[in-house]
Amino acid sequence: MNKKILSKNEAWLLAVRLRTLPLALSSIFAGSFLAYWKEELKWEVLVLASLTTIFLQILSNLSNDYGDSVHGADSLARQGPLRAVQSGRISLSEMKVAMGITGTLSFCSGLLLLFFSLTNWILFSIFLVLGLAAIWAAIRYTSGKNPYGYAGWGDLSVFVFFGLLGVCGTYFLHAQQWEMSSILIAISLGCFSTAVLTINNIRDLESDQKAGKKSIPVRLGRKKALIYLWLLVGVGQAALILFSWQILSLPSLAPLLLAPLMFGIVLGVQRASSAETTDPYLKKMALATLVWTLLFGLGLGYA
């Protein structure tokens, strides 16, 4: 794999990891599609929630680049894509400054989101705590003294923040009430997002083992991690079927058109023989999740 970086700007683009942003937006779009279905959509919520999520995802990516370099997962022996700090083009101090700026932007954007969404100070306080928890989770995944990603808790964090809170929380900010059926779609997005992380961790399995990063694939081994990946995609599709059955709507099953593609991606990961051949499936699963979400919104429009 080519590990040459031509410029510092290219190094920053690598650190931001633009290909992860569509996945981050999927849960916001899903919660907003549900709000539109219920005639509760607020455009300011959609825009500010999307902006906040983008900042949080970039913060997480920068922190991951920083933390893995500090803890040794991004050593020169790493087989996956080159990282910014690992390349030597960006120093640890520069990355910390970038993390501080991005964290501040996500906090300010989140405050604006809550200001325009909530008038009840109790709800405002609850969501503020959840927002601070999201910032903490973005930073501490691989950074800090005891990063939870190195203990194998990254999957749970992704499922909660990209699934449950992302979908259900966004819907609540639109509608000011809970929608029980949204939990099923939150499960779908949580599973697909966790599948993306799992592909990432299967790709980095060898380097993570050497660095002491006990991700789920490291704990399970490659063969069982692949079974876990099949289950994540399968449960995500099953949750959609339950949602459609619950609201008695065939059009809402439109995302199932993506099921063969998603399972094909898993099969591709299973057949991949190296980190280099596994890596393209990471982007494919992230984009497939976004398209799945857009098909969900389209189908829900005819529900």
Residue-by-residue pLDDT tens, the chain, 303 positions: 445 555 888 888 888 888 889 999 999 999 999 999 999 999 999 999 999 999 999 999 999 888 877 765 555 555 556 667 777 788 889 999 999 999 999 999 999 999 999 999 999 999 999 999 999 999 999 887 888 988 999 999 999 999 999 999 999 999 999 989 999 999 999 999 999 999 999 999 998 898 888 999 999 999 999 999 999 999 999 999 999 999 999 999 999 999 999 999 999 999 999 999 999 999 999 999 999 999 999 999 987
Two structure tokens written together for 133: 């928890």
- Kindly state the tokens that stand for 116: 């325009």
What residues does each domain of the chain span? 8-300
Q: What is the pLDDT of residue 9?
A: 82
- Amino acid of residue 275: A
Reading the block at residue 141, the tokens are 């995944």
Q: What per-residue string of b and e applies to 128-141 under the rule 16 or more CB within 10 Å gives b? A: beebeebbebbbbb
Neighbouring CB atoms inside 10 A of 38's CB total 16
- Residues 6 or more apart whose CB falls under 8 angstroms from that of 280 comprise none
Residue 37 confidence (pLDDT): 96
**Tokens 């389209």 map to which residue?**
298
Query: From CA 289, how far away is CA 92, in angstroms rounded?
Result: 32
Half-sphere exposure in the Cβ direction for 274 (13 Å, CA) = 7
pLDDT number for residue 207 = 85
pLDDT reported for residue 41: 97
Instruction: Answer yes or no: CATH 1.10.600 is held by domain 8-300.
Output: yes
How many C-beta neighbours within 10 Å does residue 108 have? 13
Give the position of tokens 């709507």. Answer: 249
Q: What is the pTM of this model?
A: 0.92
User: Which secondary structure element, helix H or strand E, spans residue 139, and what is its range?
Assistant: helix 121-140
